[in-house]
Amino acid sequence: MPTKPKVLVFAGSTREASFNKHLARLAAKRVEAAGAEATFIDLRDYPMPIYDGDTEDAEGIPDTARQLKRVFMEHQGLVIASPEYNGFITPLLKNTIDWVSRPDGDLPGLAPYENKIASIVSSSPGGLGGLRGLPLLRQLLSNIGVTVLPDQLAIGGASQVFDASGNLTDEGHANKLNAICERLVVTLQRQL
């Protein structure tokens, strides 16, 4: 039995009813169906203060960032589902990525991102579905060594696109999410 690639899946929102958490959970299922091992995490379980260099100098990085660095290291792939705030990356997502990019003892800052392959998706109640945030997230991830696959998905009208079980009601959206997750897993399998 060949080793399965491991994919870390999370949303750029901690909101209990977050549409992007729905999307991330669905993506985790599609990643598993495509033959990889998916780990869904909720960033609410990794609270971190807004980055402050003095805090870091005095106390080091927060335990949650230390833990999350280790979690990243255990995975080869990422799926991030994030809303945009004012057309930009959410502060939660940026702050988390920043803390995880800081060195911790012998573990270099960018080690958790090196050689990672990612897919990015978004959803929002608005018409564009968070589309404007995706190129910025793509750029941020590229800056720190993550290869972001070209295909992406932004789902607008998010309050109407999930059924009671959290599944996507539109076949086109569901097929696209599936294709994105399959492409990620196939790409990761080539690297094993």
Ligand X SMILES: Cc1cc2nc3c(=O)[nH]c(=O)nc-3n(C[C@H](O)[C@H](O)[C@H](O)COP(=O)(O)O)c2cc1C
Applying CB under 6 A, does 125 fall inside the site for ligand X? yes
Applying CB under 6 A, does 86 fall inside the site for ligand X? yes
Q: Which is nearer to ligand X, 65 or 154 (CB)?
A: 154
Tell me the window of 11-19, 57-65, 96-104, 112-120 that interacts with ligand X (CB under 6 A): 11-19
- Distance between CA atoms of residues 128 and 97, nearest Å: 24
CB 34 within 8 A of CB 182: yes
Applying CB under 6 A, does 91 fall inside the site for ligand X? no
Q: Which is nearer to ligand X, 131 or 180 (CB)?
A: 131
Q: Which is nearer to ligand X, 15 or 70 (CB)?
A: 15
* Member of 7, 8, 9, 13 binding ligand X (CB under 6 A): 13
CA distances from residue 167 to 26, 30, 120, 152 in whole angstroms, order as listed? 7, 11, 18, 18
- Distance between CA atoms of residues 3 and 149, nearest Å: 22
* Member of 15, 50, 74, 115 binding ligand X (CB under 6 A): 15
Question: Coil, helix or strand for 135?
Answer: helix
Applying CB under 6 A, does 20 fall inside the site for ligand X? yes
Compute, in degrees rounded to 10, the torsion defined by CA atoms 46, 50, 53, 57. -40
* Member of 47, 87, 108, 166 binding ligand X (CB under 6 A): 87
- Compute the residue count for the chain: 192
Compute, in degrees rounded to 10, the torsion defined by CA atoms 78, 83, 86, 90. -50
Applying CB under 6 A, does 85 fall inside the site for ligand X? yes
Question: Residues in the site for ligand X, rule: CB under 6 A?
Answer: 11, 13, 15, 18-20, 83-87, 124-126, 128, 130
